[in-house]
Structure formats: C-alpha cells, structure tokens
Amino acid sequence: MAFTLAFLDVSGFDSTNHDADPWITQGAARGGSLGALANEQEMPNFHYEATVTTDTSDGTVLDLTDKGVTFPANSIRTIRCRSLTTSVDSQYFYEWEEDVLGGTTPKLLGQRIISGWNNQNGTVFATGRVHFAATITALTTITTIYASKGWEACVGDISVGTCALLVPKNAYILNKGCTLDGTVVSVTAAGVSVGVVYTNLDGLGTGTGGLVFYEQFTSTDVLTDDPKLATRLDLAFEVWPPINHRLVLATNNVTIKTTATNSNVGADSLRHMGDVFVGKLRRFSSPAS
C-alpha cells in the first residue's frame, strides 16, 4: 500500500470557541479566529488531501480527536464531509454525514449519503439514494416518468413477467465493499407484487439482475397475463461509490479514513480530497436515577 497524506489544513477549527454561544463565536471571528469565521461563513473546518498508488485500506487522513474535536458524555455531534476521489479520467463525489454519540469511547451511529455522483470515463450517474419511476402498459412496455441522472435505462421492457435490471457502470459499482439495495417502493396494480433479484453483488463482473412480477403477492406465481390497466412502478436504490471516506474509531479517537480498491475504479493512481464540517454539540440529560 502506497498512501501519502499530501495536505491537511486545520486552520478552520477553533477548539476554544467552536461550541460557544453565537455572540462569543461572532466576537472571535471579528477578532481574527479563522475557526470561528469558518463556522460563521459555513466554511469547512478541515481539508485533507491524500495520494494513493496502490490499493488502500483504512488510510488515515484526519484524527478529529487529536485536533481538538471533543465528544463528551451525554452529547451528540454530527460530522459532515464532502468527499472527492479522482483518477486520470474519472471522478467520484459524495457528501455524507454521521452522528457520533459522545463518551469515553464514542459511538459511531452510521454513515448517511446526502448526495453523490460518479463520472466514470465520461459516463455520469447519481449515487446515494436514486429513483426510477415508470408506467407499465400491458405488462410489456416500460415508459420512464422520472429517473435520477444516468438511471434512465435501468429497467428494460418486460417479457414473460420479468425484465432486466441494469445499473450504470455496474462492473464498478457492484464490487466488494459496495452495495446495491433495490427496493420496490410501489406498484399500483391490484394483485401484483414485484421482486428484485440481483447476482454478483460481491464481484467485479457485470452482474445480472431483474424485476419479477408476481400474481396475488406470492413469490412463486409469475404474472404472465396482461393487466387490464397500466401499472405505475416506483423503484429506489441505495448505491454507494466504489471509494469510501468514513469515520473510524481508533481506540477512543474519532478519525476519518479512506479506502479504495484501485481495480474497482480502473486506475492505479488516485487522489482523495475532503472538506470536513464539524457540527456543534447537542447535549442531552439522562433521567434521574
């Protein structure tokens, strides 16, 4: 593993005034505190850049605890990050956040993707929570109503109760460390349910997937008769990029680490960049014993 922390800017964090009352932080900003000014102007508190020339696993780019970010007991703090990884011809961006429950050993409460996109060799598509909506006529023709960027052709026409399910650049999305969770939000035809099937979620192959239309909400009787009315189909996918910037607990310290399996993104040299926003403490009290 060849991982190099190329740049780390910590000037946007003022550990003394970060969680102070607004009138104090405003005064500190006017007094020249870059950290207080960052909070007032909604600028990032930290910025990191790291270069990678081989596969990386848990390359530490920032130790928040060491830089003065506190996670005391009876508190929750939200960490938000805008992450970008680039290769020669591709870019992977996603904005994410995670709550941290404070204590001697803080608890990480789960990463959430706010939004994201990939540009893989000129193919652009959304990541994170993506949607596809369509009408189905005579159990044959799919007509797209709405689709997230790059997902316009993710569902093919239906034949004998099934249709192909495709994702953009799926050889790069459907790989180890990444997930595709297909959920049927709704299908508005009485007596019809839809199942999502997908294989090769854990490898570098193209994968095969499909939607199967069932009768009477069973998982055995495939619907082959044409319904009398058009059917509305709504799909939602949770798609993670093939790179990962995330919070990791190192003993009792909250850190940000990056991971990339270079073969998954088709490049040997990558650059990881991130803007980190540290939320204010939200304190709570425990019930009296």
pLDDT for 67: 95
Read off the pTM.
0.81
* Closest of 163, 158, 152, 139 to residue 211, by C-alpha: 163
Closest Cα partner for 59 from 6, 108, 3, 111? Answer: 3
C-alpha of 193 from chain center: 28
- What pLDDT score was predicted for residue 177? 38
Q: What is the pLDDT of residue 264?
A: 63
- pLDDT computed for residue 105 by the predictor: 97
Write out the H or E segment, with its range, that includes residue 268. none
Tell me, letter by letter, the H, E, C secondary structure of 206-240: CCEEEEEEEECCCCCCECCCCCCCCEEEEEEEEEC
Predicted pLDDT at 175 = 37
Structure confidence at residue 233 (pLDDT): 83
Residue type for position 34: L
Whether 19 contacts 41, CB under 8 Å: no
Low-confidence ranges of the chain (pLDDT < 70): 1, 20-41, 55-57, 168-190, 198-208, 217, 226-230, 261-266, 288-289
Distance of CA 226 to the CA centre of its chain: 38
Instruction: Quote the pLDDT of residue 65.
Output: 97
Token digits of residue 288: 């009296």
Collapse the DSSP code of 36 into the 3-class scheme (helix H, G, I; strand E, B; otherwise coil) and give the result: helix
Residue type, 199: T
What is the reported pLDDT for 47?
A: 95
Q: What is the pLDDT of residue 109?
A: 97
Tokens linked to 174 = 């459907």
Residue 32 CB contacts under 8 Å (≥ 6 apart), including other chains: none
Give the pLDDT score at 187.
Answer: 67
Q: How far apart are CA 82 and CA 61, in angstroms?
A: 14
Give the pLDDT confidence score for residue 176 in this predicted structure.
35
pLDDT (0 to 100) of residue 15:
78
**Cβ proximity of 73 and 103 under 8 Å:** yes
Select from 90, 97, 95, 146 the least CA-distant residue to 118.
90
Residues 6+ apart with CB under 8 A from 29: 36, 37, 39, 40
